[in-house]
Amino acid sequence: MRQSTGFKVGRAVGLLAFAVYFFLPLLAMFDFSTQARGSAEGRTWDNWAFMVTDEDLRSSIIASLLLALFTVVLMVVLLVPTMVWVRLRVPRARKLIEFLCLLPLTIPALVIVVGIANVYSWVTYLLGDSPLVLTFAYVVLVLPYSYRAIDAALAAIDVTTLAEAARSLGAGWFTVIVRIVLPNITSGVLGAAFISVALVMGEYVFASLLIFDTLPVAMAALNKSNSPAAMAAALASMVFVSLLLVGLTFLSRDRHKQGASS
């Protein structure tokens, strides 16, 4: 179908407008974060280097990255076997599990934090006060999104038959989940993982109210004393998460090609 010139021009203008709307603030952030201080002329990378040189900021970045990693691992370890088990053995419980997993979505983060503050005083008492103990709260926080992603992937394959076939060939439950189910739901698990990373990298309410120094908390604090450096960190974290999401899109597209037809 031929498109009229008017349509093409309109589309180009529209895209341009959106691009300006989205990228201008990012460019402004970049500009602000690379301006030399005071009255000096020219550009500087000092604010970007600050992420590495500043002890507190650096440790908060590491804490957030580790938190993201642990959250993903714990989420996968908890959710995948549970969901497979429920599908295979207790299908009646599926609605209940779904309800429980979606529950955190309906409760404001603030309410949850107030609720678990007392629990966390025990957690920190038992496990120390490293920000990594936030993993437990974050797993709950990412449950709704992860559940959806993994559930869709499980629905796309015949888990029951695949599991029974593997069982009849001599596979135990661990083998069934790790070697048969997991490789066939990788796109769903990846999706769940990336969304979890994005959520954890940006989570402020839990960390701040439970007084842990994660990247968002450190950024907020830094913004008061050294806003160009805070801006650099914010932009870096945004780019990191965007790259992850773009990567996810490409990964799942490849998988679709590979598993096409049938």
Binding site for another protein (CB under 8 A): 157-158, 161-162, 164-172, 175, 180, 183-184, 259-262
Find the shortest distance in angstroms from Cβ 154 to another protein. 13
Identity of the residue, 113 or 171, whose beta carbon is nearer to another protein in the bound complex: 171
Residue 101: CB partners within 8 Å, gap ≥ 6?
79, 143, 144, 146, 147
Find the shortest distance in angstroms from Cβ 175 to another protein. 7
- Tokens representing 159? 């888990």
> Could you give the CA distance from residue 79 to residue 255 in angstroms, rounded to a whole number?
22
- Tokens representing 185? 């739901």
Find the shortest distance in angstroms from Cβ 260 to another protein. 7
- The residue among 182, 228, 240 whose CA lies nearest residue 31 is 228
Identity of the residue, 58 or 167, whose beta carbon is nearer to another protein in the bound complex: 167
- Tokens representing 88? 């295979």
- The residue among 182, 195, 124 whose CA lies nearest residue 154 is 182
Identity of the residue, 95 or 256, whose beta carbon is nearer to another protein in the bound complex: 256
Identity of the residue, 29 or 93, whose beta carbon is nearer to another protein in the bound complex: 93
Query: What angle, 0 to 180 degrees and rounded to 10, lies between the N-to-C axes of helices 215-225 and 186-202?
Result: 30
Find the shortest distance in angstroms from Cβ 170 to another protein. 4
Identity of the residue, 76 or 181, whose beta carbon is nearer to another protein in the bound complex: 181
Find the shortest distance in angstroms from Cβ 156 to another protein. 10
Find the shortest distance in angstroms from Cβ 130 to another protein. 37
Residue 49: CB partners within 8 Å, gap ≥ 6?
none
Identity of the residue, 160 or 242, whose beta carbon is nearer to another protein in the bound complex: 160
In a 3-state reduction of DSSP, which class is residue 245? helix
Give the C-alpha distances (Å, rounded to integers) separating 212 from 92, 123, 131, 200, 252: 40, 13, 5, 13, 34
